[in-house]
Structure 1
Amino acid sequence: MTQFVFFAGFSVMQPDPGLIFWTALIFIIIWGVLGRAAFKPIQTALKKRDSDIQHALDEAKRAREEIGKMQSQNDLLLKEAQEQRTVILKEAKEMRDATLKRAEEDAKAKVQAMLAEAKTDIEHMSLELKTSIKNELGNMALDIAEKLVRKELKSNTENMELAQKLVEEIKFN
Structure 2
Amino acid sequence: MEAARLIAEGGMRDFRQAKLKAGARLGVGEESSLPTNREVEDALREHQRLFQADSQPLHLRRLREAATEAMRFFADFEPRLVGPVLEGTADAHSAVCLHLHADDPAAVLVRLAERGIDYRERQRRLRLDPNHSEDCPAVRFDAGDAPIDLTILPLSRLHHAPLDRVDDRPMRRAPLAVVQALLDPPRAQ
TM-score (norm 1): 0.18
Compare CA radii of gyration and give the structure with the larger one: 1
By relative contact order (CA 8 Å, sep 6+), the higher-ranking structure is 2
TM-score (norm 2): 0.17
Between Structure 1 and Structure 2, which shows a larger proportion of helix residues? 1
